[in-house]
């Protein structure tokens, strides 16, 4: 394969076109529907869909069709068909909706203002995962430019991934006759352990989330008069959470939220820990804060195959500067419980509700509303041809062998695609590496890694075609 030609084509496309398009994309606050219920009226989603579609058509890949598909009452979806040299199909995936702004961006950075510093493009959404469509078409364009054959490719860019991909199943069903039965699925919405090699995601955690509300009064009262008489709602919340989580260690207590970790994933965690060295600890810890355990293998298993709780929001708590000396009537906490990949998310949500609502302290009015969740995913065994293709691509374009690791986050559609296409192979990868901070402040895209990943995608697509002829 003309690796030099592919790399030259990809680098030029990124430098001359993709980076500028991503900068404009960053400027558009097209937050996902869960965070912008008035997304239709605001028009940001439509603006991104129009820009992305126009760029895709401008690539002039012979025979390619670019269509914006719209189902009633749902977010739009960009559907791109690229004809190939065989009847097999490769499904490539990305999304164009974004997480909300989040506070804490450092001076000189802003979620909606693109800033390039060295090798990094800062701004919301470029790495998660606006770059995906450009990388997919860039990879296919590089193959075309070098005369390298490939299978028929279908590129799907959805618009509600950050809200749980609830629209995607309807689109997959609607487009099923046109998609066919993919033998390879490539998704570019995942992470990487470092920016020095190709990483494939072997598993994704599931999610059970909702709002825990504790009501003790119909209105706030003087804390001196009521303290010691009225049970404090935050204390009750603490007690309820202790049923779920050991506050000293963070371990989730109920057995229903744990699974047996497969031996293959234990071995991969050990190999990844050896590769990453101290990188697994590279979060912006404050002061003397340390990881929950010191062993790198255990940290990887904690974030990939064990449940973990985060309190991600609260109501009923006034800002500290405006807090009167009042015993508050209620506390509401938004909970996010990450689940092991093979844990039943629906059953977990039911169990979570049972644990939190049963026998409330002091007879307080307690409710838990599980209002969001997603199944996890464990990748099927990797076919020998794909394992070889990943390693060859990584060595060619990164100079190091491919690596494999589970991810702690959730890509909601993966379980659905895994069930729908049980015979497909999967390459789940991405550019969300150390410090990239998707969903948080100071999110960035590592440009050199994105370029090399684009080349790797091209290489894997080419190998997919060659394995047919082997």
Residues 373 and 206 sit within 8 Å (Cβ to Cβ):
yes
Residues 371 and 338 sit within 8 Å (Cβ to Cβ):
no
How many structural domains comprise the chain? 2
φ, ψ for residue 79, nearest 5 deg: -120, 120
Question: What local confidence, expressed as pLDDT, does residue 278 receive?
Answer: 62
Q: Which of 112, 168, 161, 133 is nearest to 52 (CA)?
A: 133
The reply to whether 47 and 151 lie within a common domain is: yes
What's the pLDDT tens digit per position in 61-86? 999 999 999 999 999 999 999 999 99
What's the pLDDT tens digit per position in 405-436? 999 988 888 888 889 999 999 999 999 999 99
The reply to whether 364 and 385 lie within a common domain is: no
The reply to whether 10 and 147 lie within a common domain is: yes
In this prediction, residues 224-229 reach a mean pLDDT of 96
Q: How far apart are CA 38 and CA 248, in angstroms?
A: 42
Q: In this structure, are strands 89-95 and 184-187 parallel, antiparallel, or unpaired?
A: parallel
Percent of the chain with pLDDT over 70: 98
Question: What local confidence, expressed as pLDDT, does residue 87 receive?
Answer: 87
Kindly report the number of other CB atoms within 10 A of residue 177's CB atom: 7
Q: How far apart are CA 78 and CA 134, in angstroms?
A: 13
The reply to whether 29 and 173 lie within a common domain is: yes
Query: For the chain, what is the largest distance between any 2 Cα atoms, rounded to a whole number of angstroms?
Result: 82
Domain extent for 89: 3-204+376-469
The reply to whether 43 and 189 lie within a common domain is: yes
φ, ψ for residue 223, nearest 5 deg: -70, -30
Residue 151 covered by a domain:
yes
CATH number for the domain harbouring residue 390 = 3.40.630.10
The reply to whether 339 and 386 lie within a common domain is: no
Question: What local confidence, expressed as pLDDT, does residue 353 receive?
Answer: 98
Quote the DSSP letter at residue 128: I
Mean pLDDT of all residues belonging to the chain = 95
Question: What local confidence, expressed as pLDDT, does residue 283 receive?
Answer: 84
The reply to whether 197 and 227 lie within a common domain is: no
Side-chain-side CA neighbours of 85 within 13 Å: the count stands at 15
What's the pLDDT tens digit per position in 1-17? 799 999 999 999 999 99
CATH number for the domain harbouring residue 322 = 3.30.70.360
Q: Which of 341, 373, 405 is the last residue of a domain?
A: 373
What's the pLDDT tens digit per position in 107-163? 999 999 999 999 999 999 999 999 999 999 999 999 999 999 999 999 999 999 999
Residue 174 covered by a domain:
yes
The order of strands in the sheet holding 330-339 is 308-315, 330-339, 206-215, 365-374
What's the pLDDT tens digit per position in 179-212? 999 999 999 999 999 999 999 999 999 999 999 9
Give pTM, 2 decimals: 0.90
Q: Which of 373, 403, 424 is the last residue of a domain?
A: 373
Question: What local confidence, expressed as pLDDT, does residue 50 receive?
Answer: 98
Q: How far apart are CA 210 and CA 224, in angstroms?
A: 33
Residue 266 covered by a domain:
no
In this prediction, residues 35-52 reach a mean pLDDT of 98
The reply to whether 314 and 240 lie within a common domain is: yes
The reply to whether 191 and 331 lie within a common domain is: no
The reply to whether 217 and 197 lie within a common domain is: no
Residue 68 covered by a domain:
yes
The reply to whether 344 and 418 lie within a common domain is: no
Q: Which of 239, 252, 251 is nearest to 212 (CA)?
A: 239
Question: What local confidence, expressed as pLDDT, does residue 316 receive?
Answer: 97
* 39 confidence band (pLDDT: 50, 70, 90): very high
Q: Which of 339, 357, 373 is the last residue of a domain?
A: 373
Question: What local confidence, expressed as pLDDT, does residue 372 receive?
Answer: 82
Q: Which of 419, 338, 317 is nearest to 378 (CA)?
A: 419
């Amino acid at each position: 394969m003309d690796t030099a030609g592919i790399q030259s084509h990809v680098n030029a496309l990124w430098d001359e076109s993709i980076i500028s398009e991503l900068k404009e994309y960053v400027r558009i606050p097209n937050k996902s529907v869960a965070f912008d219920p008035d997304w239709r009226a605001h028009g940001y989603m439509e603006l991104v869909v129009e820009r992305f579609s126009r760029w895709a058509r401008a690539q002039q890949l012979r025979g390619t069709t670019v269509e914006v598909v719209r189902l009633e009452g749902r977010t739009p979806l960009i559907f791109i068909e690229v004809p190939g040299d065989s009847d097999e199909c490769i499904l490539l995936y990305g999304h164009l909706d974004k997480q909300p702004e989040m506070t804490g961006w450092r001076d000189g950075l802003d979620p909606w203002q693109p800033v390039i510093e060295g090798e990094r493009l800062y701004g919301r959404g470029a790495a998660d995962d606006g770059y995906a469509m450009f990388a997919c078409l860039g990879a296919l364009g590089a193959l075309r430019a070098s005369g390298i054959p490939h299978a028929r490719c279908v590129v799907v860019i959805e618009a509600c991934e950050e809200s749980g991909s609830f629209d995607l199943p309807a689109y997959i069903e609607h487009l099923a006759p046109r998609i066919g039965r993919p033998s390879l699925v490539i998704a570019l919405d995942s992470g990487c352990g470092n920016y020095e090699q190709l990483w494939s995601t072997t598993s994704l955690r599931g999610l059970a989330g909702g709002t825990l509300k504790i009501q003790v009064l119909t209105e706030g009262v003087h804390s001196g008069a009521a303290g010691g008489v009225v049970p404090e709602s935050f204390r009750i919340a603490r007690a309820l959470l202790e049923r779920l989580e050991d506050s000293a260690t963070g371990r989730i207590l109920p057995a229903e939220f744990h699974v047996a970790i497969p031996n293959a994933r234990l071995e991969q965690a050990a190999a990844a820990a050896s590769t990453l060295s101290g990188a697994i600890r590279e979060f912006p810890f404050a002061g003397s804060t340390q990881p929950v355990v010191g062993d790198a293998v255990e940290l990887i298993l904690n974030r990939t195959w064990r449940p973990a709780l985060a309190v991600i929001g609260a109501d009923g708590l006034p800002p500290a500067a405006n807090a009167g000396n009042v015993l508050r009537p209620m506390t509401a906490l938004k909970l996010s419980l990450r689940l092991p990949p093979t844990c039943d998310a629906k059953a977990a949500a039911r169990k979570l509700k049972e644990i939190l609502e049963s026998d409330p302290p002091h007879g307080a009015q307690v409710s838990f509303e599980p209002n969001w969740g997603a199944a996890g995913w464990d990748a099927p065994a990797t076919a020998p041809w794909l394992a070889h293709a990943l390693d060859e691509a990584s060595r060619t374009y990164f100079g190091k062998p491919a690596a494999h690791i589970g991810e702690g986050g959730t890509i909601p559609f993966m379980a659905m695609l895994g069930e729908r296409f049980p015979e497909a192979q999967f390459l789940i990868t991405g550019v969300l590496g150390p410090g990239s901070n998707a969903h948080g402040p100071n999110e960035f895209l590592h440009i050199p890694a994105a370029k090399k990943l684009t080349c790797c995608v091209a290489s894997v697509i080419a190998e997919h075609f060659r394995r047919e002829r082997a």
